[in-house]
Amino acid sequence: MDNDYWQLKRKDTGNIVQLPQDMRWLDEFDWSRVAQAAPQRTLSGGLVIQQGVKLNGRPVTLGGDWVWINRSDLLALRDWSDTPELEMELTHYDGRKFDVTFRLHDAALARIEPVQYATPEIGSDKYTVTINLMTI
């Protein structure tokens, strides 16, 4: 299933915001499913290493300075970020799906900037934004 956009869908209402395909998953390869505590030395000099598999919490940071979204979509996302315990389904344009929520501890929406046109009288309802999500 190839689409021209990412799709973020609220699980409670079914409302959808479509995001451009040019938006990139900035930290896609920065995460590991394996968690590891700091190694500890035993009295005999051995090393104890504790590891486990993370069940969720993978960061999904969507952004790109070259990606513009409409003000109406930005306002919808801003409104959604004020909904406690909101669960959403993120569909990648290549068909992958992820259950996500906003990473409110990092600011759900960051680096919000209106697009500056060379001709100021045109005005803009386009914005750049970084969307901070995590898997649940």
Question: Which pLDDT tens digits describe the chain residue by residue (136 residues)?
Answer: 447 899 999 999 999 999 999 999 999 999 999 999 999 999 999 999 999 999 999 999 999 988 999 999 999 999 999 999 999 999 999 999 999 999 999 899 999 988 877 665 555 689 999 999 999 9
Count Cβ neighbours within 10 Å for each residue of 52-90 and write b for 16 or more, e otherwise: eeeeeebbbbbbeeebbbeeebbebbeebbeeeebebeb
Note whether residue 88 is domain-resident: yes
Look at strands 126-135 and 34-36 and give their pairing. unpaired
Full-model pTM: 0.86
Note whether residue 39 is domain-resident: no
Note whether residue 21 is domain-resident: yes
Note whether residue 11 is domain-resident: yes
Both tokens of 2, joined, read 């190839």
Note whether residue 85 is domain-resident: yes
Note whether residue 48 is domain-resident: no
For the chain, the domain total comes to 1
Domain that holds residue 118: 5-30+57-135
Note whether residue 19 is domain-resident: yes
Note whether residue 40 is domain-resident: no
